[in-house]
Structure 1
Amino acid sequence: MDPLPGPKGKKQSKLLISTGFELRNEQEEKMENAFMMVHNRINGLSERDSHDAIIQIISESKMMHESATGGLLYGLLVEPQNAQKYFSLLALTANDAWYCALCNVNMVVIELYPKLRTEAREQIWFFFREAIRANVPKIDNVLNNLIRTLNDGLDLKDIRATLSAVTSLLNGNHTWLSNLRPKASLIPVTLQTLSRFICDLSAYPQCDTLRNQMISLCDWLLHERFLDCAQLGRDLILVIMRISKIPQFAVIWRQLFFEPTKLAPNFGGIEELMSRSFANFQTYRVSVAIQRKMEFILKLKVPMHEKHMEWFRKQHLNNPEAGNLRAEAIRCALFIPIGPDSPPSAADMKVIFITNLLSGAMAGVEQQWCKLQLFWDWFCFDPSIPGGHLAVEPGFCVIKHLLLSQHLLANSLLDFLIRMSSELWPPMQNRIVSSITNAFKAVTDHNINLSISSVLENSFVPKNLRDSLRETFKGLVRTPTVTQQPNKSEPSTSLIIDIDAESFDTESRLLISDASETPSTSATNGNIPSALEDESNENEEEESESFLEKINDLLPAVKEEFRDSIESLAHATNTEIDMSEMMQKLLTNVLDNEDLLDEEQTELLAECLLTIFGKRLRPKKPFPPRFAQSPEFLDEVFNHPLYIIFRNLCLTPDGDATRQPLLSLIAELYEKCASVSYLLLFFLCSGLNDQNDNYVSAYTDLCHILEKSVIEQLVKDLEQCHVDDYVLFGHLIPFVYAKFPSEAMSSPELMKLLADSIDGRQIADIVGEMIEENISLFRKDSFTTIVNASYSWDTLSKLIFWQLVHAENVPIEWMLPLLPKIQLNEQAEAATNVYIMLQRMDREPTMNLIRIILSRRPPDFFTVKCIRILIREQSSALRVAEHIGNLIDKLIQSGEIHPSNVKQRRGTPRNVCLEHVFAHLDNFRQTCLSDSVKKERKDAAESFLALPPLQNAFALARGADKITDLRIRFNELFAVIEILSDEPGQNPRTRRYKSQKRLIDNNEAMLFLYLWKDDSKSKRRKAMIDSDSD
């Protein structure tokens, strides 16, 4: 048997569908060679002699045994008429319990099945039928992989054929299924896969017969092998839920909840399933090819993953028949392990991968099913199971990631958790709420980089949604130990992950004073709420007990000179005025005894102060909007003792030696409570009546003490501030850019934080400040650096960034260094906003701009688009034509014709050559003068090309001998320019006829000139040879 002949003598595969451009598959070639060896040994022999020949082959060596097995399998696949003969010979070689044969079948199913010819696929099905009839051991494991190939997003035609074959095979072998060993994986894998297709194929009437066969098979599996199906654990509930509207499964769905023992003796029902999870079945949700691509994508780095994700979607999720495969991929991705050998970015890439799949789901049933697959483990989370947090952590990270890019979708996920807690199954509502709460806690307990407050207190989460989260998952909030007096408003709650008043580490989410409290009554009346709440003496005594014990433990180590002041501050009455007075006395003591304030004492003082402040420090809530417009509110906030330290520092002259102990104390406070430094910024912004620029030195000196650059500390502080209080964050941004202009306007990190974090109201405030010229966000020398950095940001962040750029009216000249490098596909947002800048130009285009645009490597649509924008106005078009004409003239005179001849010269901002100029103009001609272009655009292009500066430049180019090759290459461009130079008023038909005729004549003339020059060169060369011979 010879392979089919292919084009140009190349052998065409009888096993695989391939094109003439693909190399032959190595495994197929190996099997084919083995088959040729076997075929030559048994060709023409009787059945008995064939058996003897095969036995002789396999007894020669282990390698010959493997070759013979692979060859016989190849013959079975490509020669249907002899399939029974080859299967009998395979059975003869099965002295290893079919191990070698099944390995070869596995290889074909996993690696080659999508490319198999139709005849070969039918033979694969024949092999499984015969293997089941012969009761081949472990054939069920191989059949698993055949079923798995269905989860590849194939076309409906391919799916129907394989699905029908598998369903018929299993429906016809119930006895074999019944005799499978207990807990065989084939049973749950079949149920899990077919249940998806039962739903997906309901939209195709032509598949009703096949669908009924699958329903019959799944019904039989659930009734006869339920305990095997229960290996799916809680995923079995998803399987039956998906098909529960079908009458056969509606009965099973009711039994699962109310009569579980009818399904299996001693079965605990829904609660038992909810407590089970077997991740080893999750990979069967997708094909091996999809799993490998997912694992590959997780090894990539941002933004390298984007093109692979796009290809992944087109390859596997673009078909309407893909159905709910997107949800299956999400569920599978949750359980892809991130091992020690995985790159550091693997966990983040998993989140990005799931986010991409989720955001691409169609709104409605498909998106809701994707959400359910993502959060299913949250509804039955058990913190006592080791490693259980790994299944819920990606869901939390997806919410956090979407809040930065697609906050509406992120909010819908949070809303989904709230609704499912009560609607999934009302009798288990308390357990589900507890499970979701425990899932939130487990995420933050096992990952110090994740904080519940970063999601639940995010500025993009609406207030009503935050309130619903607190109300539904009360386990996430705690009631303060201080009880309120009767007839007071209900006690406020705070996220449980926030530390209490006795702990001050860098992860704290605390804000000085109760200024963040915004009672609904005050908001209703339109008044700014009070910054402080009165507390009774009884509550004060109860609250003081814990921190006084700690103060008493710390006091023995404090120097005697400071001890009395600390005790007085600790026992001060519960009013801000008394505490402020005691704080001032302590600072006076510190400054009077500066020589005693060593590093150890500074640390002790900081710990004592934070412990004392603890009863006034509360887990943060955002400041009320427009709080800065209320002097009363600010006065109450800045009466807190902490701001006494800030005020003393700011009022101390720069050269005074007493600044150093104050700075050291604040630095130590910052090391123990990360909010201190941005509160210093807040005080500098709003706490001083006299806005003296010298006060800013207090913050810069603190940065020096902390051994950090000013911009590094600013970014860190604003990041912390945004997590703690997004309202205060928006208040500080204009101050930072106004008082730290050189650092802020040069920082891509600060701009990214700004673009990632601000909301619509804050954008309006900042843009208003920019329009009034109170602040500026950009400067020329650092603008290109920020634009370059923005290429890797999320799309929403880029849009906000460019909105701020346009608000400041940044001129196009600042973008000139980047114009030659912008990639239209990769940096689409930058290209789009360059178009807007060109359209809004309030001055005529310069030679520098035209030179840089034309320096881009052709062909380039970006250049054509820029030219089209610049020539919309007649005066601007004339200036562009003059610049291009002058440029052509200079390039001809200087000899800068081709890219290889371009030399960098002083005064030329970018390299440009005549070939590029002609190429861009020719691309402009093809784009704007084609028949499909609107008449207005075509007329504008013709008017531009007919302008005298361009006509004169091309007339000069026609007479330049040194560019003959360019005239030949761009002969159509030259012809069009010449045609457009004709007198106006000609009949359009006459002009079109002349145009076509002149193009032909021009082509012939250029060809003749080229051949004449070539002939002249040949004659000169021949004359030189004759001269040498003489």
Structure 2
Amino acid sequence: MTSSLIHKATYEADNSFVSSLREAFQLLEPQLRPPFPLTIRAEPEYFNLNHAILYGILCETHLAKVHIKHLHGIMIDGYGFFTTLLCRLVDELYSKLVENVKVQLVYVTSEMIDASAIGIDNLLVALLRQIRGGDFSEANLWLCSEMVNLFRGKWECLLEEHPLVLSSALYVFLRVLSDHCKVSLNSKLKILKQKEIEFCIRVFREQFHLCLKIGRDVTRLLQDLVHVPEFRDIWKDLLLLPASFKTPGFSDISQLYQSRTCSRYFLLRITPEMESHLRFLLTQVKLGSQTRYQIWFGRKFLNVPEKETVVIDIVRFTCRAHHPSKDIIHSNVIPRWAVIGWLLKCCTKNHIEANVKLALFYDWLFFKEDIDNIMDIEPAVLLMVNSIPKYIHMTHNLLEFLFLVVDHYDIDRKDLILKGVSSALDALQRKGVVGSFDVLTSCDMLLPFLKEKLVKMLSYKNVSRFNNLQHVLLP
């Protein structure tokens, strides 16, 4: 017996991976029924049997437990090859899988956690990447619910064997909660929100060291949830009672601010399909020819107002997880700043636009040259500079936002933020990203008050250097 794994239009060719699973099942089906022979399989046969068993688990739901027992019996590589097959299925085909196959996929993932399978952390990350931001479809909310249930139910096991995957889950659920907490669709969403909140709060309260693994972006996501009472309490404790987290070495939120977030976290909020299209846009499409690609991308991934929140994730990914090569930088391929400028124009809601700007400037606020990468902050400055004179309103909006954030993001640590932004400006000029900031300070079209603030910001670094030098020289 065989059935379909994926939804396929009549005009579509067969998927080669699906075909390999189905063909292995058809070839070895007699061997998939008990009693099973107690023999050690050679590699080619072993790999083929893995294909067949996977197909059986996904399609023969009434025999799934039998297939799992068979898998346990033949396993010789710690389930490494089997989880590789599962990861490929999720990365390449998840959106096309039929509904009952998705259910079986979550089931077999749970079984692999119990079996301490090699690569289970990669499989969990692959599934987390399929949770789409701003997507309130039943299928997407179902996946959110299944994944949060999985992490809650397997907490102890994952904490012992794969603690870092819990930090990945925290990043994802903090991010989707900012969407889920802004709407009230039905009782199911209310239950889901509560589960997501409880999971995140447990990580903060019981395993705060895993929050530290994420770095500064955990504060960016957390601040978007301060309207939720449970997260408001976390934020207050971060600012006023850091000792309440009982984590050795953690004494102030500034330590989180100054910890650069690893790029793998930004990949968590971009599906593999979206990533491939973004990387194509940023490596193959020529400047001036991008409009039709942007229209296509917008229709596919930003086609309803709720999905605008994904722009925040795309900008963070573009700044932090996609650093073009020198060859690309010096070619006529559309630069990152131009793509971000287009994405900003896609925003129709003020709060989303503000969060997109924060995503663009976030590394500026805490920039330290020995920790951060100049490529993280390059898109924002080039967008401001290259918007003159045709799109001067873009330059105005970005500079005004930057100065507003410097003054109000964390008033008690304003000096830290001021130092970060001035260090960013200094590094951008020294490393030749911009030849001179005269292009801004001498621009007649730039509003006088913005010029004045920028000049003060640029001079802050020189004043700091002078003060540091005096401190060294004076007895």
TM-score (norm 1): 0.43
| Offset from partner CA, 1:799-852 (integer Å, 9 cap, x none) | xxxxxxxxxxxxxxxxxxxxxxxxxxxxxxxxxxxxxxxxxxxxxxxxxxxxxx
Residue 298 of structure 1 aligns with which residue? 282
Residue 47 of structure 2 aligns with which residue? 66
Residue 204 of structure 1 aligns with which residue? 184
Q: What are the within-5 Å matches in structure 2 for residues 354-369 of structure 1?
A: 354-369=340-355
- Aligned amino acid, residue 293 of structure 2: H
Residue 293 of structure 2 aligns with which residue? 308
| Offset from partner CA, 1:532-553 (integer Å, 9 cap, x none) | xxxxxxxxxxxxxxxxxxxxxx
Residue pair 1:378, 1:392 contacting (<8 A) in 2 also: yes
Residue pair 1:196, 1:324 contacting (<8 A) in 2 also: no
- Aligned amino acid, residue 204 of structure 1: S
Task: Give 3-state SS (helix, strand or coil) of 1:185's partner.
Answer: helix
Residue 7 of structure 2 aligns with which residue? 17
- Aligned amino acid, residue 355 of structure 1: G
Give, in angstroms, the shift of residue 431 of structure 1: 2.1
Bigger relative contact order, structure 1 or 2 (CA pairs below 8 A, ≥6 apart): 2
Give, in angstroms, the shift of residue 455 of structure 1: 2.5
Aligned mates of 1:420, 1:213 — CA distance in 2:
32
- Verify: 1:177 aligned to 2:151, yes or no: no
Runs of 4+ in 1 over 6 A off after TM superposition: none
Aligned mates of 1:228, 1:376 — CA distance in 2:
21
Residue pair 1:102, 1:139 contacting (<8 A) in 2 also: yes
Give, in angstroms, the shift of residue 164 of structure 1: 0.9
Change in 2 beyond 3 A, CA 1:448/1:418: closer
Aligned mates of 1:150, 1:383 — CA distance in 2:
34
Task: Give 3-state SS (helix, strand or coil) of 2:388's partner.
Answer: helix
Q: Percent identity?
A: 20
| Offset from partner CA, 1:924-975 (integer Å, 9 cap, x none) | xxxxxxxxxxxxxxxxxxxxxxxxxxxxxxxxxxxxxxxxxxxxxxxxxxxx
- Aligned amino acid, residue 172 of structure 2: T
- Verify: 1:287 aligned to 2:287, yes or no: no
Task: Give 3-state SS (helix, strand or coil) of 1:459's partner.
Answer: coil
- Verify: 1:140 aligned to 2:121, yes or no: yes
Q: What are the within-5 Å matches in structure 2 for residues 756-771 of structure 1?
A: none
Match of 2:253 among 267, 270, 275: 270
Give, in angstroms, the shift of residue 208 of structure 1: 0.9
Residue 472 of structure 2 aligns with which residue? none
Residue 482 of structure 1 aligns with which residue? none
Q: Quote the RMSD (CA, aligned, Å).
A: 2.1
Q: What are the within-5 Å matches in structure 2 for residues 751-790 of structure 1?
A: none
Residue 242 of structure 1 aligns with which residue? 224
Change in 2 beyond 3 A, CA 1:35/1:405: farther
| Offset from partner CA, 1:632-681 (integer Å, 9 cap, x none) | xxxxxxxxxxxxxxxxxxxxxxxxxxxxxxxxxxxxxxxxxxxxxxxxxx
Give, in angstroms, the shift of residue 153 of structure 1: 6.1
| Offset from partner CA, 1:762-793 (integer Å, 9 cap, x none) | xxxxxxxxxxxxxxxxxxxxxxxxxxxxxxxx
Residue pair 1:178, 1:225 contacting (<8 A) in 2 also: no
Give, in angstroms, the shift of residue 36 of structure 1: 1.0
Change in 2 beyond 3 A, CA 1:176/1:66: same
Give, in angstroms, the shift of residue 158 of structure 1: 2.0
Q: What are the within-5 Å matches in structure 2 for residues 616-695 of structure 1?
A: none
- Verify: 1:32 aligned to 2:22, yes or no: yes
Change in 2 beyond 3 A, CA 1:343/1:399: closer
Aligned mates of 2:343, 2:97 — CA distance in 1:
29
Task: Give 3-state SS (helix, strand or coil) of 1:382's partner.
Answer: coil
Q: What are the within-5 Å matches in structure 2 for residues 569-648 of structure 1?
A: none
Give, in angstroms, the shift of residue 323 of structure 1: 4.8
Aligned mates of 1:77, 1:320 — CA distance in 2:
35
Give, in angstroms, the shift of residue 81 of structure 1: 0.9
- Aligned amino acid, residue 132 of structure 1: I
Residue 139 of structure 2 aligns with which residue? 158
Q: What are the within-5 Å matches in structure 2 for residues 72-87 of structure 1?
A: 72-87=53-68
- Verify: 1:413 aligned to 2:409, yes or no: no
Residue pair 2:223, 2:235 contacting (<8 A) in 1 also: yes
Aligned mates of 1:218, 1:448 — CA distance in 2:
39
Residue 466 of structure 2 aligns with which residue? none
Aligned mates of 1:421, 1:358 — CA distance in 2:
20
Change in 2 beyond 3 A, CA 1:448/1:439: closer
- Verify: 1:229 aligned to 2:211, yes or no: yes
- Verify: 1:257 aligned to 2:239, yes or no: yes
Aligned mates of 2:89, 2:146 — CA distance in 1:
17
Change in 2 beyond 3 A, CA 1:275/1:430: same
Change in 2 beyond 3 A, CA 1:370/1:449: closer
Aligned mates of 2:150, 2:37 — CA distance in 1:
29
Task: Give 3-state SS (helix, strand or coil) of 1:267's partner.
Answer: coil
Change in 2 beyond 3 A, CA 1:471/1:443: closer
Give, in angstroms, the shift of residue 405 of structure 1: 4.0
- Aligned amino acid, residue 229 of structure 2: P
Residue 311 of structure 2 aligns with which residue? 326
| Offset from partner CA, 1:862-906 (integer Å, 9 cap, x none) | xxxxxxxxxxxxxxxxxxxxxxxxxxxxxxxxxxxxxxxxxxxxx
Residue pair 1:155, 1:319 contacting (<8 A) in 2 also: no
Aligned mates of 1:347, 1:398 — CA distance in 2:
15
Residue pair 1:141, 1:185 contacting (<8 A) in 2 also: no
Residue pair 2:132, 2:140 contacting (<8 A) in 1 also: no
Give, in angstroms, the shift of residue 232 of structure 1: 1.2
Aligned mates of 1:235, 1:83 — CA distance in 2:
40
Residue pair 2:378, 2:433 contacting (<8 A) in 1 also: no
Change in 2 beyond 3 A, CA 1:460/1:360: farther
Residue 383 of structure 2 aligns with which residue? 398
- Aligned amino acid, residue 281 of structure 1: Y
| Offset from partner CA, 1:592-643 (integer Å, 9 cap, x none) | xxxxxxxxxxxxxxxxxxxxxxxxxxxxxxxxxxxxxxxxxxxxxxxxxxxx
Give, in angstroms, the shift of residue 280 of structure 1: 3.2
Change in 2 beyond 3 A, CA 1:333/1:79: same
Give, in angstroms, the shift of residue 411 of structure 1: 0.5
Q: What are the within-5 Å matches in structure 2 for residues 501-512 of structure 1?
A: none
Residue pair 1:470, 1:477 contacting (<8 A) in 2 also: no
Aligned mates of 2:171, 2:433 — CA distance in 1:
36
Aligned mates of 1:330, 1:26 — CA distance in 2:
34
Unaligned runs of 5+ in 1: 4-13, 479-1030
Residue pair 2:80, 2:117 contacting (<8 A) in 1 also: no
Q: How many residues are paired up?
A: 456
Change in 2 beyond 3 A, CA 1:284/1:409: same
Q: What are the within-5 Å matches in structure 2 for residues 867-886 of structure 1?
A: none
Give, in angstroms, the shift of residue 141 of structure 1: 2.4
Aligned mates of 2:136, 2:20 — CA distance in 1:
30
Change in 2 beyond 3 A, CA 1:373/1:470: same
- Aligned amino acid, residue 377 of structure 1: D
Give, in angstroms, the shift of residue 305 of structure 1: 2.1
Residue 791 of structure 1 aligns with which residue? none
Task: Give 3-state SS (helix, strand or coil) of 2:36's partner.
Answer: helix
Give, in angstroms, the shift of residue 383 of structure 1: 2.4
- Aligned amino acid, residue 380 of structure 1: F
Give, in angstroms, the shift of residue 22 of structure 1: 0.5
Give, in angstroms, the shift of residue 417 of structure 1: 1.1
TM-score (norm 2): 0.91
- Verify: 1:106 aligned to 2:87, yes or no: yes
| Offset from partner CA, 1:176-198 (integer Å, 9 cap, x none) | 233234xx331222111111221
- Verify: 1:195 aligned to 2:174, yes or no: yes
Aligned mates of 1:347, 1:456 — CA distance in 2:
29
Give, in angstroms, the shift of residue 258 of structure 1: 1.8
Residue 88 of structure 1 aligns with which residue? 69
Q: What are the within-5 Å matches in structure 2 for residues 976-1015 of structure 1?
A: none
Aligned mates of 1:265, 1:477 — CA distance in 2:
36
Match of 2:416 among 428, 431, 449: 431
Q: What are the within-5 Å matches in structure 2 for residues 537-556 of structure 1?
A: none
- Verify: 1:186 aligned to 2:170, yes or no: no
Residue pair 1:470, 1:476 contacting (<8 A) in 2 also: no
Give, in angstroms, the shift of residue 384 of structure 1: 3.2
Change in 2 beyond 3 A, CA 1:346/1:269: farther
Aligned mates of 1:403, 1:476 — CA distance in 2:
25
Give, in angstroms, the shift of residue 220 of structure 1: 1.0
Match of 1:216 among 188, 198, 202: 198
